[in-house]
Chain A
Amino acid sequence: MDFLPTLWFILIAVLWTGYLFLEGFDLGVGMLIKVFARDEKERRLLLNTVGPVWDGNEVWLLTAGGATFAAFPFWYASLFSALYIPLVFVLLGLIFRAVAFEYRGKVHSDTWRTVWDWAIALGSFVAAFGIGAMLALTTTGLPLNENGDRVGGPFAWFTWYAVLGGLAVVGFCLVHASAFLALKTDGEVRIRARRLVARWLPLGLLPLAAWVIALAVLNGKWFSWLLIAVAVAAAVAAWVANSKDREGFSFLAMGLFLVVGSAAIFSAVFPVVLPSTLNAAWNLTVENASSSAYTLRLMSIVAAVGVPLVLAYQAWTYWIFRKRISVDHLPEPHDFAPAVGLSAAAPSAGVTGGAV
């Protein structure tokens, strides 16, 4: 077993897990803006729980993509080109979501805000679903030929596994976001978020559990079952902690569930990084898909410096904005009259002068 490609496989698994852990809750909060928040104040509250951090969270996706390109170019090329259509939707979802976060509050009209609310909710949903589908297909395989190109047309990737993966990530994001909101907010929203976790946790995590179990059955590695047992225990712990009003513990247990579940997924397929459903000989593996040892060494040095730094300053950001917020903390939104363009009414009205 080559050491460096294996190390990079693990690192990419870590990046994806980090992405799902962090953006998991802001994608979920994005979806909840349409189903959980009851009025304008609550919608703004939800947005502001993730306001300072969502952009930083999203970079985990870019880094996972970039790291795959650098360390496993064949994996990156085959996966991204085979999933062309779903990735276009993911991109559109992420574009709308990002722009909506920033632009929603910039004009004070109900129509304007409603449009951007839908952009946030649908954008978050489509991105979460698409990324889930992509990750699931990475583990169950795509119809790839000898060169790693998809055969069978633009929708050849569409299988039940894609749907399962999509639901898995959407479900996880919703539950994770509820736990996050229970941790980050105060007042009535906090109580409702806690109730949401209590009711929906078992159902929301079910598709992810199904995916993990399917992989364990398909690949039959004993330690997968061990990890699954830990994941189930973590989910139960999250649920129990939530019912005892221990939001911090509940959120961390959700995180543990994700980490262990994702470890089960990635370890089940290893050393294959992208199976071909047509011929096992065409599978992309850590060995045949990776960059040269020189590039991997260079990237390892960069990662050794960069990853701890990122973790440190992102942790600092969360520390700075650690306080719970409630609707009472939100300043009133303010509109403004244009200082120019008031036509001829304004000139000379109440102008005072003085030489300088």
Chain B
Amino acid sequence: MDPLDIARWQFGIVTVYHFLMVPLTIGLGTLVAILQTTWLRTGKEEYLRMTKFWGKLFLINFIMGVATGIVQEFQFGMAWSEYSRFVGDVFGAPLAMEALLAFFVESTFLGLWIFGWKKLPPRIHLACLWIAVAGSIVSAYFILVANSWMQHPVGVEMLEGRPVMVDAWAVFTNNTALVAFFHTITGALAVAGGFLLGISWYQLWRRRKDGIDTVGANGRVVVGSSDSIPGRDKRDHAMWIKSLRIGAVVAMIAFAGSAISGDLSGKLMFEQQPMKMAAAEAACHDGTSFSILSIGDVGSRDCSDVVAVMEVPGLLSFLAHNDFTTEIKGVNTLVPEYQAKYGTHLPDDPMLGERAGTEINYVPIMAVTYWGFRMMIGFGGLAAMAAGVALFLTRKGTVPASKGLMRLALVGIMAPFGANAAGWIFTEMGRQPFVVAPNPAMSGIDQVFMFTAAAVSPGVSGGEVIFSLVALTTVYAVLLVVEVVLLTKYIRGGVVSAMPELGHGPDKGDGDGGTHPGGPEADDDVLAFAY
């Protein structure tokens, strides 16, 4: 059993899984911070409710990101020791900086935020959340610096067969990293926007179904209040409709941002990893047309069987170079170029085991890159369109009574997640067979590269990696179910799940809201929050 393949599956699974939690953490964290700021400035209770409710869901999700994040740091040394030895001089630095400058900030200040309600002065309490959110954003930056160096090595010199850092500024301002950072943050906001939209839609639909809200003859919503269901008062309506519309607007803006950054990123990739983009297009021959749909076996890897059935002439050139006529190199042109530059066979190194001396296939699995690329854009675009439709449908203050639309809104939460995951799979798989991709472009250093086949730990057996793969995927699967069950429970609980003090009866929920947020409580109140 070749540890290489199992280790690759493991890396893909744990990373994509981790990246289900991360965008929601970054995006939702930012929105909760904005909501709490708004509450502090306006004193309006619905913003407190929004802060508490979305904050609760944020925390349920946050912890899964923390738990799965540790695996990310450890797995380089565990399963990819040759990789770690090769790149340690330049790759370890952003990782260590993430821990020291971002992750400490994030976890410490989030602890202060969770337990600091009423205990810290309101402004300082809010600042703690903003600092924690800033920490998570900075953390994304450092990770993307590390990842982007694998996509586009800069700032190094080869010394005794290893890249050695000579220009930290180049590493930390790598154009690939800056664009990826922008793309990742907008992607995260799109996830959070869709999350707010879908859940709020469900809550408003439920209010209509339960007869709390009705639509009057003039078409305007008549907001009601339920005596029997805790927390279902008039402010409850205000909270959901505001959340929904904030979510929709954020999702649309975020999509626009990710389209811009995605376009920039694509242009960089045409230059830095032409094979990745050719594979994303299933483009065998040189040309200028963008494929809307190609049929045939896009998974054939030799490209002989692919036929484009629908194409937009000139679009590919535009995506790559901002004009309509520059020919983009296809797979058939690129393969001999790669072979001439980086060899046709893996080196005869005994460390590579049975992989030593085998022929190198420079074409990534085209089915993955082709569909990954389309799913990323498709899911993202779909979510943005849906957000636009949602804004229109809710312009009079509530959602339509349609159950189908409600289901669509809930299922739609998954679209931005899908776009994010597909984007990462495309980026990482499109780089194969390299783990550190060489860059023919001027801005890269061409001879800094590493084959994935040479990166895996030589001392680790297939059995060990299988053991960890099975253990981690099982645990992850169980925990994903637990997380979704908990999120569902708290979503169905409505705002009362996050503010039990509202449960005493409708419209009695002044608690710590209603009036403008005051100072810390009595000094003997040692626990503002308790597990």
Binding site for B on A (CB under 8 A): 44, 47-48, 51-56, 58-59, 61-63, 65-67, 69-74, 76-82, 84-85, 87-88, 91-92, 94-96, 98-99, 101-107, 145, 147-151, 153-154, 291-292, 294-295, 298-299, 302-303, 306-307, 310, 313-314, 317, 320-321, 323-325, 329-331, 334, 336-342, 346-356
Which of A95, A103, A348, A354 is close to B475, meaning CB atoms less than 8 Å apart?
A: A95
Interface centre among B59, B168, B230, B530 (most CB of A within 10 A): B530
| Among all A-B residue pairs, the 3 with the closest Cβ atoms | A73-B88, A80-B77, A339-B494
The answer, among B66, B351, B464, B496, for a CB contact under 8 Å with A336, is B496
The smallest C-beta distance from B310 to any residue of chain A, in angstroms, reads 44
Which residues of A lie under 8 Å from residue B114 when comparing CB positions? 51-52
**Contact between chains at A295 and B93 (CB < 8 Å):** yes
| B residues neighboring A (CB under 8 Å) | 59-60, 62-64, 66-71, 73-74, 76-79, 81-82, 84-85, 87-93, 95-101, 103-105, 107-112, 114-116, 119-120, 159, 164-166, 168, 202-203, 206, 209-212, 214, 216, 220-232, 234, 236, 351, 397, 457-461, 463-465, 467-468, 471-472, 475, 479, 482, 486, 489-490, 492-497, 500, 503, 526-527, 529-531
Q: Which of A51, A78, A84, A348 has the most CB of B within 10 A?
A: A84
Contact residue among A104, A336, A339 (Cβ-Cβ distance under 8 Å from B531):
A104
- Asked if B60 and A102 sit within 8 Å, CB to CB, the answer is yes
What A residues does B527 contact at CB under 8 A? Answer: 48, 325, 329-331
B84 and A44 within 8 A (CB): no
B96 engages A67 (CB within 8 Å): yes
- Which single residue of chain B is at the shortest CB-CB distance from A311? B104
Given contacts A76-B88, A102-B63, contact A302 B165 (CB under 8 A): no
What are 25 A-B contacts defined by CB distance under 8 Å?
Answer: A52-B111, A53-B108, A59-B104, A63-B100, A67-B96, A80-B77, A91-B70, A92-B475, A99-B64, A101-B531, A148-B85, A302-B93, A314-B104, A317-B108, A317-B111, A325-B527, A330-B527, A337-B493, A338-B494, A340-B494, A348-B211, A349-B227, A355-B220, A356-B220, A356-B223
| Interchain CB contact under 8 A, A351 and B500 | no
Contact yes or no, A81 B79, CB < 8 A? yes
Establish whether residues A292 and B89, one from each chain, have CB atoms under 8 Å apart when the complex forms.
yes
CB atoms of A98 and B66 under 8 A apart = yes
Q: Which residues of A contact B70 (CB under 8 A)?
A: 58, 61-62, 91, 94-95
Complex Cα distance, B1 from A156, in Å, reads: 20
Contact of B63 with A101 in the complex, beta carbons under 8 Å: yes
Cβ–Cβ contact B479 & A48, under 8 A: no
Q: Is the CB of A320 within 8 A of B116?
A: yes
Q: Tell me which residues across on chain A come within 8 A of B166, comparing CB atoms.
A: 294
Contact check, B226 vs A63: say whether CB atoms are below 8 A apart.
Answer: no
**A347 pairs with B209, CB closer than 8 A:** yes
Residue of A nearest to B89 (CB): A291
Report the separation of the CA atoms of residues A47 and B489 in the bound assembly, to the nearest whole angstrom: 23
What residues of A have a CB within 8 angstroms of the CB of B475 in the complex? 92, 95-96
Shortest distance between the CB of B439 and any CB in chain A (Å): 21
Rounded to whole Å, the gap between the CB of A60 and the closest CB of chain B is 8
Q: Please report the C-alpha to C-alpha distance between residue A300 and residue B383 in the assembled complex, in whole angstroms.
A: 45
Residue of A nearest to B476 (CB): A95
B244 to chain A, nearest CB (A): 15
Q: Nearest Cβ in chain A — how far from B14, in angstroms?
A: 10
By a CB distance below 8 angstroms, the chain A residues around B96 are 63, 66-67, 69-71, 299, 302
Q: CB distance A339 to B73 under 8 Å?
A: no
A107–B471 touching, CB < 8 Å: no
Known: A84-B460, A295-B89, A303-B100. A342 touches B531 (CB 8 A): no
Given the known inter-chain contacts A69-B77, A149-B457, please indicate yes or no for A338 contacting B85, CB distance below 8 A: no
- Report yes or no: A69 in contact with B493, Cβ–Cβ below 8 A: no
Query: Are A106 and B60 interface neighbours, CB within 8 A?
Result: yes
> In the complex the two chains form, is B232's CB within 8 Å of A339's CB?
yes
Q: Known contacts A350-B228, A353-B214: does B99 contact A154 (CB below 8 Å)?
A: no
Closest to B457 in A: A81
Indicate whether A66 sits within 8 Å of B226 (C-beta atoms), given known contacts A56-B108, A107-B486. no
* Contact in complex: A76, B60 (CB < 8 Å): no
Question: Chain A at the B interface: mostly helix, strand, loop or mixed?
Answer: helix
Name the B residues within 8 Å of A149 (CB-CB): 81, 457-459
A91, B88: Cβ atoms closer than 8 Å: no
Known: A71-B92, A154-B463. A350 touches B227 (CB 8 A): yes
Distance A325 CA – B164 CA, assembled complex (angstroms)? 52
Minimum CB distance partner of B528 in chain A = A331
A51 and B531 contact, Cβ closer than 8 Å, known pairs A320-B112, A347-B209: yes
Contact of B206 among A61, A102, A331, A340 (CB under 8 A): A340
A99-B479 CB under 8 A given contacts A295-B89, A349-B227: yes
What residues of chain B lie closer than 8 Å to A56, measured between beta carbons? 104, 107-108, 111
Given contacts A150-B460, A298-B165, 20 further A-B contacts (CB under 8 A): A56-B104, A59-B103, A66-B92, A69-B91, A73-B87, A92-B475, A95-B71, A153-B461, A294-B168, A295-B93, A295-B164, A303-B100, A306-B100, A321-B526, A331-B530, A337-B229, A339-B495, A340-B494, A353-B222, A354-B222
Whole-angstrom CA separation of A98 from B71 in the bound complex = 13
Q: A178 CB to closest chain B CB, in angstroms?
A: 20
B459 touches A107 (CB 8 A): no
Closest chain B residue to A150, Cβ basis: B459
CA distance A92 to B74 in the complex (A): 12
When distances are taken between beta carbons in the complex, the residues of chain A under 8 Å from B465 are 84
* B226-A346 in contact (CB<8A): yes
Write the chain B residue with the least CB distance to A106.
Answer: B486
In the assembly, what is the distance between CA of A338 and CA of B490, in Å? 8
User: A94-B70, A334-B500, A347-B210 given as contacts; is B112 within 8 A of A317 (CB)?
Assistant: yes
Q: State whether B229 touches A339 (Cβ < 8 A).
A: yes
| Nearest A-chain residue to B93, judged by Cβ | A70
Cα distance A325–B108 in the bound complex, in angstroms:
20
A66-B221 Cα distance, complex, nearest whole Å? 55
Residues of B within 8 A of A62 (CB): 69-70, 73, 99, 103
| A339 in contact with B496 given A69-B88, A107-B486 (CB within 8 Å) | yes
Q: Is the CB of B99 within 8 A of A66?
A: yes
Separation of A320 and B523 alpha carbons in the complex (Å): 11
Contacts of A348 in B (CB 8 A): 210-211
Taking the closest CB of chain A, its distance from the CB of B103, in whole angstroms, is: 5
With contacts A313-B108, A339-B494, A353-B223 taken as known, whether A55 is within 8 angstroms of B88 at the C-beta atoms is: no
Min CB distance B44 to A, Å, is 15
When the two chains form their complex, are residues A88 and B526 in contact, meaning their CB atoms are under 8 A apart? no
Measured CB to CB, the closest approach of chain A to B483, in angstroms, equals 8
Instruction: Give min CB distance, A34 to chain B, whole Å.
Output: 16
- Residue of A at shortest CB range from B491? A340
Q: In the complex, which residues of chain A have a beta carbon less than 8 angstroms from the beta carbon of B496?
A: 336-337, 339
Interface contact A92-B471, CB-CB below 8 Å: yes
Give the distance to chain A from B352, nearest Cβ to Cβ, in Å.
12
Q: Given A98-B63, A107-B489, is A356 in contact with B99 using a C-beta cutoff of 8 Å? A: no
Contacts of A47 in B (CB 8 A): 531
Known pairs A298-B168, A350-B227; A307 contacts B100 (CB<8 A): yes
Is A52 a contact of B112 with CB atoms below 8 Å?
yes
Within the assembled complex, what's the spacing in Å between the Cα atoms of A346 and B446?
68
Residues of B within 8 A of A76 (CB): 76-77, 84, 88, 92
Chain B residue at smallest Cβ distance from A322: B526
How near does chain A come to B165, taking the closest CB pair, in angstroms?
Answer: 5
Task: Choose among B71, B226, B464 the residue that contacts A349 (Cβ–Cβ < 8 A).
Answer: B226
Q: A92-B471, A292-B164, A356-B221 are in contact. Are A52 and B67 (CB under 8 A)?
A: no
A87 to B224, CA, bound (A): 56
